Amino acid sequence: MKDICVSICASAYRVKDWIPFLESLKGTKIPYEVVFVGPNKPDFENSKYPEFKYIESKVKPCQCYEIAYRHAVGEVIGWSADDGRYNINGNDNVDRIYNFYKSFNTEKIVVAQRPIEDGRDIWHRHHFFGDWSQTPVMAPLGFMSREYFHRIGGYDRNFISGQSENDICMRVLEDGGRVERCMDSYVHIFHQLCHERSGPQSSGMRQYYVADRQYLENCWVHDGYGAYGAGGAVMRSQVHISKTRLLPVESFEEKDLITTTQGPKGKW
């Protein structure tokens, strides 16, 4: 087997989206794998998609991602979502992001794909504080060295479902690294449909946005969560983002990682 260049990882919930996800990767030239972790088993034969690896777990989404990263074997890991679509219109978006990553010749980097969310190009909105362009660039769908990810401690177990990738970006910057956008590598996602609606097809992730955001800002904003405030547009000059993490990283423990939720649980 060829060495795997990229492991695309996700906390995965919506089985109906998995075949379209996998089909969208056809045409990728570099060796890759897909690692999904979640409570719902695939309803198709894995043999049709030899690059696909599924791990059953009922723990919270943040921890599912961590499980995926620990089982990945690629040189580079990428955080994704099971509503992602990659090589749409014949574009080789995975090859492009990998080549972009390699062009920097450093492991201290996160490279971000250009997200098309619900049909809207929203690359300009992904900073630590939304569209505040003077705050650090984040990577909602990012790729980085697998070994380096583990060496800096992986995801912090205090996150429930989201924002943990932003914390990784900030820790890379803290370590003297960088976050760069690959403007010609696109990924299409459908978050409003998949995350914000109610019912059995919703991932349930959005209900913990405030809790996760609160922890992120307590880690990186000197005045803690709320400095942004309802009047954030007026307070931009007053928000002081720290260059060093204000709270220690609490990494996941290997023991019972797949079976028992560690840290704040949410509904999981």
Question: Which pLDDT score is estimated for 232?
Answer: 52
Q: How far apart are CA 86 and CA 49, in angstroms?
A: 16
236 pLDDT exceeds 70? no
The answer to whether the beta carbons of residues 108 and 175 sit under 8 Å apart is yes
194 pLDDT exceeds 70? no
Question: Which pLDDT score is estimated for 204?
Answer: 59
pLDDT band at 197 (very low <50, low <70, confident <90, very high): very low
Residues linked to residue 180 through DSSP beta bridges, in sequence order: 111
Worst-scoring range by mean pLDDT, 129-138, 149-158, 204-213? Answer: 204-213
- Taking alpha carbons only, the member of 23, 43, 103 closest to residue 34 is 23
Question: Which pLDDT score is estimated for 202?
Answer: 52
Opening angle at CA 65, ends 42 and 140, nearest 5: 110
Per-residue model confidence as pLDDT tens digits over 64-78: 999 999 999 999 999
Question: Which pLDDT score is estimated for 226?
Answer: 73
- Our CA dihedral for 84, 85, 86, 90, rounded to 10 degrees, sits at 180
Average model confidence (pLDDT) across the chain:
90
pLDDT band at 36 (very low <50, low <70, confident <90, very high): very high
**If you average pLDDT over residues 199-225, what whole number do you get?**
80
Question: Which pLDDT score is estimated for 192?
Answer: 61
Q: pTM of the prediction?
A: 0.92
203 pLDDT exceeds 80? no
Per-residue model confidence as pLDDT tens digits over 101-131: 999 999 999 999 999 988 889 888 899 998 8
pLDDT band at 227 (very low <50, low <70, confident <90, very high): low
The answer to whether the beta carbons of residues 112 and 181 sit under 8 Å apart is yes
Q: How far apart are CA 51 and CA 46, in angstroms?
A: 9
pLDDT band at 178 (very low <50, low <70, confident <90, very high): very high
Question: Which pLDDT score is estimated for 196?
Answer: 47
The two three-digit tokens of residue 120, written as one number? 């809207």
Q: How far apart are CA 37 and CA 55, in angstroms?
A: 5
Per-residue model confidence as pLDDT tens digits over 38-53: 999 999 988 889 999 9
The answer to whether the beta carbons of residues 180 and 99 sit under 8 Å apart is no
- Going from the C-alpha of 88 to that of each of 14, 30, 40, 49, 152, the distances in angstroms are 20, 17, 26, 18, 33
The answer to whether the beta carbons of residues 113 and 93 sit under 8 Å apart is yes
Question: Which pLDDT score is estimated for 190?
Answer: 84
Q: What structural domains does the chain harbor?
A: 6-238 (3.90.550.10)
pLDDT band at 256 (very low <50, low <70, confident <90, very high): very high
Question: Which pLDDT score is estimated for 234?
Answer: 47
The answer to whether the beta carbons of residues 186 and 93 sit under 8 Å apart is yes
Beta strand spans in the chain (E): 6-11, 32-38, 52-56, 76-79, 109-117, 120-121, 142-145, 178-189
